[in-house]
């Protein structure tokens, strides 16, 4: 538990304020400077992973190079035992994600102002050859005064040519990373521009442009799909703000803003248009006074032009009119031909009501529709809820009245999307889990077994086997090798050794002491081992448990003796005690009050040598050894 722990005798951890996949962030008290700080601590499972530790240290090094009012300051970096930590400026406020979830969509002027401050922070980072690589609302802090602070340079990269190649891995947050990050290819300053565009899109609309059930499906949408226009989600978004978003999130980096400074300039322009009415006189649809280049003036085209012999301009107009008529005729012919293909005999007087074939096997659906004199077009898609070969949907829908020969489009299920199970053998658990995630699969049960042929900590086997076809989203169970099995050997003979020496020998052999009992023995000395289970010579393996019997003295015969004595002269009432000492120790076996001259007879018992002592009023007057 880290709460109340003090790191390096300086930073006392007070409370958890945030966390992520790589580290947790705590509020702490700096005892030296008497101030609140934020301490970012690497997760323990990564402390022995050189790659994660290197990435964690890189964040501190990258951010420490930056000094900007919109970037969280780095104060210190250190290691306390197995705890790696970064000490940062403590921001009392909230994340941009929390603000979006509470208030979205944000007013356009607020969204543009926040985007401007993020762009200013990125401008400072880019000028220092640092690409953030993980711009998202979760990494944007808002102070109580409203100032923006960019944090978490956990996967930032130092670059010399504004690009990076990161082979084999996809790094970043899937809803916000760029297409080039999704492909695992080069990452540069324009990747941050794309991510900032996604953040601005979310602030203005209240949603991210691409969603999906798995990270892979979202990454594919970044690569292949166009986002819904922001103004279709929120008509109040100014056209200029929408244009900035769309340029920033262009899939081709060459079509985005050339630099973050260029995007910053357009955001400032948008901010000018979004000033409140009391500070501006222009509506959002107006344009400010500006100098425009002289435009070429063209003669208006008259609607009714009469040809004049020898007039070249008239000939040109007539030629253009003929071209327009020709294009229109071609379009009309294309429309008629398309209507014929789509609707069949659209002039036919015969109407039919489309039957409901949703849920039917595709062959049965075809027969039903063909019997209605309709045509069929089939498209197949993956669907994990509809069995293979069954109709998911139809268009037009059931009950629609159409002409005969109309084409009915059927969407047929290909079942759950399948993929090939990757070969995880020889990987460590973390790499195997990442490989499964990239394949659209999940890690199932994990067992550990001794496998001599496979190094400890590596995947020895998997189920399903490598190359097997499996459904996307399904799990793959793995067996992790524990290395070679425990050593086997013949159990030594411990009989006759002392119980105190036994513990050391058992520890050296990596054996465990089980039940220990005592038993009288005339063969082994008291305190030594007289028996063991398993017996000497039995084959055991490291970690086995052995029970022992410890010898004690054999039972001695019980001796009896008669004690007779006359109470001596003295006081009229005398206290008499009979004391016996034997192998079991000293004890009083009789105590009473007698008169002088009385006779006392007692039988005493003991083990081994007996010593009998008689006391009268505390004075020993009889002592004998038997």
Catalytic residues: 134
Burial 151-184 (b: 16+ CB within 10 A, else e): bbbbbbbebeeebbebeeebbbbbbbbbbbbbeb
Question: Is there a contact between 390 and 359 (Cβ–Cβ < 8 Å)?
Answer: yes
Q: How far apart are CA 177 and CA 165, in angstroms?
A: 15
Residue 448 token pair: 């550990």
| The CA-based dihedral angle spanning residues 170, 172, 177, 180, taken in that order and rounded to the nearest 10 degrees | -30
Question: Nearest to residue 474, comparing CAs of 429, 420, 530?
Answer: 420
Q: Which region holds residue 519: left if phi is over 0, alpha if psi is between -120 and 50, else beta?
A: beta
Is 488 exposed, middle or buried, given 0-12, 13-18 or 19+ CB atoms closer than 10 A? exposed
Question: 3-class DSSP state for residue 425?
Answer: coil
Q: Measured on CA atoms in the order 500, 502, 505, 508, is the torsion positive or negative?
A: negative
Beta carbons within 8 Å of 508's beta carbon, 6+ residues apart: none
Question: Is there a contact between 356 and 399 (Cβ–Cβ < 8 Å)?
Answer: yes
Helices 189-205 & 239-248 angle (0-180, nearest 10): 140
* Ramachandran angles phi, psi of 586, nearest 5°: -100, 135
Question: Is there a contact between 479 and 459 (Cβ–Cβ < 8 Å)?
Answer: yes
Residue 535 CB coordination number (10 Å):
10
Pairing status of strand 35-42 against strand 83-89: antiparallel
Pairing status of strand 539-541 against strand 488-490: antiparallel
Question: Nearest to residue 472, comparing CAs of 431, 518, 421?
Answer: 421
Question: 3-class DSSP state for residue 172?
Answer: coil
Pairing status of strand 475-481 against strand 442-449: parallel
Question: Is there a contact between 108 and 204 (Cβ–Cβ < 8 Å)?
Answer: yes
> Longest C-alpha distance within the chain, in Å?
177
Question: Is there a contact between 614 and 563 (Cβ–Cβ < 8 Å)?
Answer: yes
Beta carbons within 8 Å of 163's beta carbon, 6+ residues apart: 186, 187, 188
Point out which residues pair with 303 in neighbouring strands: none
Alpha carbon separation from 283 to 117, 267, 272, 286, 560 (Å, rounded): 25, 17, 11, 5, 123
Question: Nearest to residue 499, comparing CAs of 553, 550, 552, 554?
Answer: 550
Question: Is there a contact between 213 and 439 (Cβ–Cβ < 8 Å)?
Answer: no
Which stretches does DSSP call E strand in 81-172? 83-89, 93-95, 130-131, 140-143, 148-150, 157-158
Question: Nearest to residue 423, comparing CAs of 476, 472, 474?
Answer: 476
Point out which residues pair with 604 in neighbouring strands: 561
């Amino acid at each position: 538990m880290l709460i109340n722990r003090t790191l390096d005798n300086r930073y006392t951890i007070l409370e958890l304020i945030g966390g992520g996949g790589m580290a947790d962030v705590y509020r702490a008290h700096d005892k030296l400077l008497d101030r609140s700080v934020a301490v970012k601590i690497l997760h323990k499972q990564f402390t022995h992973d050189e790659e994660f530790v290197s990435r964690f240290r890189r964040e501190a090094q990258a951010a420490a190079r930056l000094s900007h009012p919109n970037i969280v300051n780095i104060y210190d970096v250190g290691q306390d035992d197995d705890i790696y930590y970064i000490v940062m400026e403590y921001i009392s406020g909230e994340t941009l994600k929390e603000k979006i979830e509470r208030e979205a969509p944000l007013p356009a002027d607020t969204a543009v102002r926040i985007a401007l401050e993020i762009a200013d922070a990125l401008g400072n980072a880019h000028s220092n050859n640092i690409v953030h690589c993980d711009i998202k609302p979760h990494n944007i802090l808002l102070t109580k005064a409203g100032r923006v602070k960019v944090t978490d340079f956990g996967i930032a990269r130092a670059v010399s040519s504004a690009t990076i190649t990161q082979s084999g891995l996809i790094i970043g947050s899937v809803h916000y990373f760029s297409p080039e990050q999704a492909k695992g290819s080069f990452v540069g300053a324009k990747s941050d521009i794309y991510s900032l565009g996604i953040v601005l899109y979310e602030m203005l609309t209240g949603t991210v442009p691409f969603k999906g059930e798995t990270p892979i499906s979202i990454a594919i949408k970044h690569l292949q799909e166009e986002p819904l226009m922001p103004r279709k989600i929120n008509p109040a978004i100014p056209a200029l703000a929408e244009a900035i978003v769309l340029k920033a999130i262009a899939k081709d980096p060459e079509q985005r803003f050339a630099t973050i400074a260029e995007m910053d300039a357009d955001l400032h322009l948008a901010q000018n248009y979004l000033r409140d009415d009391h500070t501006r006189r222009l509506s959002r649809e107006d344009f400010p006074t500006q100098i425009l280049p002289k435009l070429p003036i063209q003669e208006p085209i008259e609607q009714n032009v009469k040809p004049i012999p020898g007039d070249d301009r008239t000939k040109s107009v007539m030629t253009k009119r003929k071209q327009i008529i020709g294009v229109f005729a071609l379009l009309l012919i294309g429309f008629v031909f398309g209507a014929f293909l789509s609707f069949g005999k659209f002039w036919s007087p015969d109407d039919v009501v489309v039957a409901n074939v949703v849920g039917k096997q595709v062959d049965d659906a075809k027969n039903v529709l063909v019997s209605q004199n309709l045509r069929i077009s089939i498209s197949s898609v993956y669907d994990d809820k509809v069995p293979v070969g069954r109709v998911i949907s139809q268009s037009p829908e059931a009950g629609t009245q159409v002409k005969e020969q109309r084409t009915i489009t059927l969407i047929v299920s290909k079942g759950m999307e399948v993929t090939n199970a990757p070969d995880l053998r020889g990987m460590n658990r973390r790499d195997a889990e990442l490989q499964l995630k990239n394949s659209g699969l999940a890690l199932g049960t994990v067992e550990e077994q001794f496998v001599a042929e496979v190094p400890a900590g590596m995947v020895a086997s998997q189920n399903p086997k490598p190359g097997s076809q499996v459904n996307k989203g399904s799990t793959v169970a793995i067996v992790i090798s524990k290395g070679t099995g425990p050593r086997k050997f013949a159990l030594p003979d411990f009989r006759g050794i002392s119980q105190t020496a036994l513990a050391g020998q058992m520890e050296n052999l990596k054996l465990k002491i089980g039940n220990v009992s005592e038993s009288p023995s005339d063969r082994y000395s008291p305190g030594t081992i007289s028996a063991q289970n398993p017996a000497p010579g039995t084959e055991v393996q490291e970690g086995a448990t052995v029970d022992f019997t410890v010898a004690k003295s054999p039972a001695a015969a019980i001796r009896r003796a008669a004690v007779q004595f006359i109470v001596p002269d003295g006081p009229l009432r005398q206290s008499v005690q009979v004391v016996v000492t034997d192998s079991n120790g000293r004890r009083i076996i009789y105590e009473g009050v007698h008169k002088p001259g009385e006779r006392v007879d007692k039988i005493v018992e003991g083990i081994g040598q007996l010593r009998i002592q008689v006391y009268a009023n505390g004075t020993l007057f009889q002592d004998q050894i038997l």
